Amino acid sequence: MTNGAFGGGFKFDRRGFVAALMLGVAVAGCGQSEAPAAGTGDVAKIAKEKGIEKPNLKLGFIKLTDMAALAVAKEKGFFAEEGLNVTLEPQANWKVLLDGVSGGQLDGAHMLAGHPLASAAGIGSKVKIITPMSLDINGKAVTISNRVYDMIAPNLPKDGSPVSASLLKPVVAKFKAEGKPFKMGMVFPVSTHNYILRYWLAAGGLNPGFYLPGDTAGTTGAEVQLSVTPPPQMPATLEAGTIEGFSVGEPWNQASLAKKVGHPIIVDPDIAGLTGDKVFGMRDEFAAQNPNTTKAVLRALIRAAMWIDAEGGKNRAETVKIIASPKYVGADEKVLLASMTGKFSFAEGDTRDTPEFNLFFDQQAAYPFYSDGIWYLTQMRRWGQIAEAKPDQWYMDTVKAAYRPDLFTLAAQSLVADGKATADQFPASDGFRTYTKAAIDKVAFDPRKPAAYAASFAIGLKDGQTVSAAGVK
């Protein structure tokens, strides 16, 4: 959790939610969304008045619930009201999306936080990618196959406490004895899902492997082999037996449960505490050349994030209806509801309160905190993607090259000036979040001392260590 952030955490009002569904989601959101979306002529007029350099934009996304702010900004007319004619285009996978942004085919996108950070660290896109806004915090889970679940079920905590990956150790040993690797999936080498899954496995005493220089497999010394699978394909890949589990964002954990092909067993707030997740990413060059357009996009996305989390979640019902459309996430509303209502289903009859899961605006979820980016960088170093140990200043310089809270603040201040938000919704920040939720291994994260933190884990690279084909040395 965080301290003093945007009026506290998201608290879902189930009575209001059910009423909204019964009324066909007739309730309007915030007052700002009640006006009809601007027409084509109005959009052009607004764009001219605002000095929008590029009013026609193509933005990319992956079919996950955390793309919701983009869909809401489009469907509730926030983009249009800012003078923007936006086309939202789904992408096949994270690599295709990254290539689209880097190559200029996309003007911006729903991206992994690791995309701009890897670019700044020199291990990703050669084109400089920045993020001026976070799209959500948390929102991921770990799901395992039915057969693995059956093997560990007798030892699962009866009180609903977080499941340790140590329960998988005898399963992994059994696979090894049978001459089979134990495989799990994640969505991209620099994804939060990769680092969250690795964190969970390592905290339970299982080595997920290290990355060689220039390597995207990361299986050197691995007891559990991780591979890339696009999010929408996770349930089918699990059902086919190609992998025995995965880490992915919603709705694909809940979809696996609904299809009866797997069991979610832990959500990310219970693994590493609070972590940033997806971001809005764009080329640094685009932001520099199109400052008014950039501010307009951010204003629309901030308004959308505010609307999604407004008044204890009363707009979550309508948000679900919006993103359920095949042109966005394309999942059954019941599946989406299972993780978008402040609750999360782990098994049939086992639905628990998860108030910190998938926040879009509450708890400063939209602000691009340097400290969130630094955490990702420490995990890149821990697993060898950053080949050599770095001093604390390197972490700070690198995150500042990728995270742009200055652009977020300009957009937020303009919303306050226009009466579309209040100043107390954007508390002053030095770029460092206050972390109060303990990670599953109880290792405290100090973002001001990242080098020591990165080297502090029992499983992970220490200062001076590097990875070669022969292993860690």
Residue 30 included in any domain: no
Residue type, 28: A
pLDDT of residue 37: 56
Distance CA 358, CA 375 (A): 18
Mean pLDDT by 10 residues, the chain (473 residues): 34 40 34 48 92 98 97 98 98 96 98 96 92 96 97 94 97 98 96 96 98 92 96 96 97 96 96 92 98 98 97 92 97 91 89 90 95 97 97 98 98 98 94 91 96 98 94 91
101 domain-assigned: no
197 assigned to some structural domain? yes
pLDDT (0 to 100) of residue 374: 98
Is residue 200 situated within a structural domain? yes
Helix (H, G, I), strand (E, B) or coil at 467: strand
* Residue 226 lies inside a defined structural domain of this protein: yes
All residues at 6 or more sequence positions from 30 whose CB lies less than 8 Å from its CB, including other chains: 306, 307, 310, 311, 315
Question: Rounded to whole angstroms, how far apart are CA atoms 192 and 122?
Answer: 18
Number of H helices, E strands in the chain: 20, 14
Whether 457 maps to a domain, the answer reads yes
8 A C-beta contact, residue 239 and residue 259: yes
Residue 213 lies in a domain: yes
pLDDT of residue 24: 36
Residues 6+ apart with CB under 8 A from 123: 190, 380, 385, 386
| Residue-level pLDDT at 343 | 87
- The pLDDT value recorded for residue 275 is 86
C-alpha span between 290 and 325 (Å, rounded): 31
Q: CATH number of the domain that 254 lies in? A: 3.40.190.10
pLDDT value for 39: 63
Sheet holding 262-267, edge to edge: 225-228, 183-186, 245-249, 140-145, 262-267
How far is the CA of 214 from the CAs of 173, 189, 204, 207, 247, in angstroms? 30, 12, 28, 20, 23
Q: Would residue 38 count as lying in a domain? A: no
| DSSP code for 389 | -
Q: How far apart are the first and last CA of the chain?
A: 37
Q: For the chain, how many structural domains are there in total?
A: 1
pLDDT value of residue 6: 32
d(CA 88, CA 72): 11
Domain region containing 172: 140-272+442-464
